[in-house]
Amino acid sequence: MHDMDEIRPGQSIELLKALHILTRDGKMNQDSRRKLKQVYHLYQFIEPLLDEVRQAHPDIQLVDHGAGKSYLGFILYDLFFKELTGNSHIYGIEAREEMVATSQDLANELHFPGMSFLNLSVAASIETDQLPRKIDVVTALHACDTATDDAIHFALKRQARFIVLVPCCQAEVASLLNRNKATGLSPDPLTEIWRHPLHTREFGSHITNVLRCLQLEAHGYQVRVTELVGWEHSLKNELIIASNRALPGRRATERLNGLLQALGLEGLCQRFFTS
């Protein structure tokens, strides 16, 4: 298959070269082909959400947390935002200053006026006044450690209509499970699920995402969890999409608190707050 056949119509070739997905002569290697397929696959999930926001109001505000080189932000802007009129905007949040500068230079070079980048941690972005008070869509791809949870807190505070997460590792739950394991032998056979260290880590990661979903449901979101096809070589290929539907959250709150209690994770109530 010719490289150009894999590129979506309307996609800027100049952008793909700047992101090093295409070489100067328009070729793709195996790694960049996989990267482009991954971003396109994710775009298929995000595009209908952007369409729904656009039907509600013309100016879409999107924040991408832990943006890194901003592959996702640039592809979203190029395929969707650059055709919009009005004041739609993508904000990339990234703690590494050099990446923020590089991304801002690229946005200027490509004449993407509705893109800007802030040199902030995800936690710091929650309180900043450099972002609009209300955000329509929040994305976070592989935001490490507690940054995925900070992105959720940001989205809840800014009343996001949609939240799109590819969650990353979070060692806090596993370390608490380990600590509980060391303090005494529980008669509950369920503790066998995390007795071995590898299982502690995997179960800790799994339960973290379960708690995240329950927290979002407790805040009235409808949550869908799916797998990102083509991301098999990535450490995490789980996709969580949350849509704010103002649903009753009492049952999810009860389940969340019950789960924290059953697993001895009460210390995480603050992190997975429900009100």
Asked if 132 and 145 touch (Cβ cutoff 8 Å), the reply is no
pLDDT above 80 for 181: no
Burial class of residue 243 in the structure, from the number of CB atoms within 10 Å of its CB (0-12 exposed, 13-18 middle, 19+ buried): middle
| Residue 187 pLDDT class (50, 70, 90 cuts) | low
Q: Is the pTM of this model over 0.75?
A: yes
> E strand or H helix at 38, and its extent?
helix 30-56
**Which of 11-15, 25-29, 141-145, 218-222 has the highest average model confidence (pLDDT)?**
218-222
| SS3 state of residue 141 | strand
- pLDDT tens-place string over residues 206-262: 999 999 999 999 999 999 999 987 766 555 789 999 999 999 999 999 999 999 998
Percentage of residues in the chain having pLDDT higher than 90: 64
Report the C-alpha dihedral over residues 175, 193, 264, 273, rounded to 10 degrees: 80
Residue type, 209: N
Q: Of 63-72, 173-182, 192-201, 250-259, which range is least confident?
A: 173-182
Q: Give me the mean pLDDT over the 135-148 stretch.
A: 88
- pLDDT tens-place string over residues 146-172: 889 999 999 999 999 999 999 887 778
| SS3 state of residue 131 | coil
Asked if 209 and 245 touch (Cβ cutoff 8 Å), the reply is no
Q: Which domains does the chain have, with CATH numbers?
A: 3-168 (3.40.50.150), 170-220+249-275 (no CATH)
**Can you give the pLDDT at residue 99?**
95
For the chain, first and last CA: distance in Å? Answer: 52
pLDDT above 70 for 18: yes
- pLDDT tens-place string over residues 37-84: 889 999 999 999 999 999 999 999 999 999 889 999 999 999 999 999
Q: Give me the mean pLDDT over the 85-111 stretch.
A: 95
Q: What backbone torsions phi and psi does residue 146 show, to the nearest 5 degrees?
A: -90, 0
> E strand or H helix at 241, and its extent?
strand 238-244
Q: What backbone torsions phi and psi does residue 259 show, to the nearest 5 degrees?
A: -70, -45
